[in-house]
A and B are shown apart, each in its own frame.
Chain A
Amino acid sequence: MAEAQTVSTVKKGRHREKWISFLFVLPSLIAIFVFVYGFIAWTGYISLTKWNTFLKDLSFAGLANYRFLFADFRFQSDLRNTVVFTLLFMAVCICLGLFLAVLLDRKRKGETLFRNIFLFPMALSFIVTGVVWQWIFNPSTGINLILKQLGVDDPPLWYVQTKVIPDLHLGQLHVGLPLALIAVIIAAAWQLSGFTMAMFLSGLRSISDELKEAARVDGATEWQVFRYILLPALKPITFSAIIILGHISLKIFDLVYAMTGPGAAFVTDMPGLYMVETTFKGSHYAQGAAIAVIMLVLVSLLIIPYLVLTFRKEESL
């Protein structure tokens, strides 16, 4: 009896406490709604104006800035570079990360040391990474010194290279893989492969050892254990890794800024870089805002389905 009474007082208190609990998160909610959603809306509005000079001009321009961008050689190059960079960067990080995780998962001796070596670049700034890799890929030193020692007479030009392969023409744009991006992809993968390794490693550790052992006892080869037990179990983690790497790569800015800049004929340019340069160096605020809106749309296509899925799953639990 007494117990039932306490439970009901607690319940009555619950209603009031829910309001109090809302008040505790209210400051953060207001901050997020102003600084994220409010500012995004304002950026969206700016992208529809004529504010492309130092003097603020908020008169309506319709979609003129977007039309300008999609016809602009630099922005077209940026979109090509983003697609190429994102696909290759994700592929390298996921393959290398998975490979490292599988190697380390079976190893007990020296595992911590190796794991730390593969993961430490995550603690570095993209600026530091860019500054160092810029020297390593400088065509007159670094990697090319080693290649020359190995007898390569004609070493690659790395990020100075302006060639695009297979160089299909689509209007003024050269469609294909700009070879200069390879150096940037290597530097970015160097920095983030350890992250996918850590994700995969935590996934592999959560697969029970008995399951793997049982399969081995039944005569499965190591490849079959990997293909039919480990790989399916790692699917959700691979999905998360794609989302995380994808949104990093769509937003990439600092690494390119420090390592190569836009490059000749914009072979290493990215939307994030174009936005900052055109806005703050060229005072093309409306065009910068339009680039930012396009970046946001690209990231949202990746993130919103992911957030919706994650929260559906959580609520059904």
Chain B
Amino acid sequence: MIRNRIAPFFSNGILILLSVFFLLPVYVMVTTSLKPVSEATLAQMWELPSRIDLTSYGIAFEKLEPHLLNTLYLVIPATILSALLGSLNGYILSKWQFTGSNTLFALILFGMFIPYQSILIPLIQFLQKIQLYNTIPGLILVHVVYGIPITTLIFRNFYANIPREVVEAAQLDGNGIWGIYRRIILPLSISGFVVVGIWQFTQIWNEFLFAITITNTSQQPIMVALQNLSGSQIVQWNIQMAGALMAALPTLLVYIFLGKYFIRGLLAGSLKG
């Protein structure tokens, strides 16, 4: 009886303590970004701002705005295109398997595990040749292609839950592969598209390696701009934190409002269907 009363008290205590640790960086980001310059000092890191000062947001926004727009132009088409490709591939690889299709799927999947450094030099040579180096369309192409494995995986697992009879019945009604996809599968795919869309949005928004090697200066996405902002010694600390918060906000909002789907994408990425 005593054990039953102490155990939950104890586990709550640990959970609260760990929550404080997990929220520490958020506390630092939020409080520092709201401080006037005079209070954003090393000695006062943990102190609350004496008054709310939004100047740092104004300055950070001015510096980051063009790059936020770059990322927006990148992330929207790249997410839509890679979700469409993934849906088509997932449909074929789960409902119209042909000889060797499982092996081909495994070969596709390998592409999501490779360190991208191992394709980076040829990729840049290729983008230079087709004149897409240092352009947003170039980055879109890169994210669509290297997004194929994960989007195909998520959709393949998603469509595996649609019974084969549904496809066979539609076939007897005279529908071909494309007709079944358009009339039957696509309307059933909405939550699949939400999961994949959120996953790709988050990944592409946060991506850094391609961003920093394929673009320079005015074409750079937000994460490169944020890194430049915080890497420079002259920029005030409160401005860095305001910038970090602004760069993180879109994916954080997606997580807060659509977290359930985000977690589904996360778990699908671990190959467990």
Contact = CB atoms under 8 A, between A and B. Distances in A.
A54 B209 CA distance: 21
Interface string B120-148: 11110010000000000000000001101
Given A128-B226, A132-B28, A138 B115 contact: no
B30 to A, nearest CB: 11
Given A6-B172, A40-B114, A314-B102, A46 B251 contact: no
Given A20-B176, A124-B248, A142-B45, A40 B106 contact: no
Interface residues of B, number: 90
B230 interface: yes
Given A125-B205, A198-B267, A114 B115 contact: no
A218 to B, nearest CB: 18
A161 interface: no
Interface string B89-123: 10011001011001111111111011111111111
B19 A114 contact: yes
Contacts of B176: 17, 20
B162 interface: no
A61 to B, nearest CB: 15
Contact of A138 (B42, B98, B123, B148): B42
B197 interface: no
A279 B230 contact: no
Contacts of B106: 307-308, 311
A194 B19 CA distance: 11
Contacts of B61: none
A18 B108 contact: no
Nearest to A255: B208
Interface stretch (A62-70, A162-170, A175-183, A246-254): A246-254
B2 interface: no
A289 interface: yes
Contacts of B227: 127, 131, 257-258
Interface in B1-40: 8, 11, 14-15, 18-19, 21-25, 28-29
Contact of A136 (B25, B85, B102, B120): B25
Contacts of A254: 208-209, 223
B28 A272 contact: no
Q: Is the interface of A mostly helix, strand, loop or mixed?
A: helix
| Size class of the A contact interface (CB-based, 8 Å) | 35 or more
B255 A120 contact: yes
B270 interface: yes
A31 B104 CA distance: 13
Interface string A284-315: 01001101110110010001101110110011
B247 to A, nearest CB: 6
8 contacts: A17-B177, A35-B111, A124-B206, A198-B267, A244-B269, A257-B208, A258-B227, A292-B121
Interface of A: 6, 10, 13, 17-22, 24-25, 27-29, 31-32, 35-40, 42-43, 46, 100, 103-104, 106-107, 110, 114, 116-129, 131-136, 138, 140-142, 145-146, 190, 194-195, 198-199, 202, 237, 240-241, 244, 247, 250-251, 253-254, 257-258, 271-272, 275-276, 279-280, 285, 288-289, 291-293, 295-296, 299, 303-304, 306-308, 310-311, 314-315
Interface of B: 8, 11, 14-15, 18-19, 21-25, 28-29, 42-43, 45-46, 85, 88-89, 92-93, 96, 98-99, 102-111, 113-123, 126, 145-146, 148-149, 152, 168, 171-172, 176-177, 202, 205-209, 212-213, 223, 226-227, 230-231, 237, 240-241, 244, 247-248, 251-252, 254-256, 259, 262-263, 266-267, 269-272
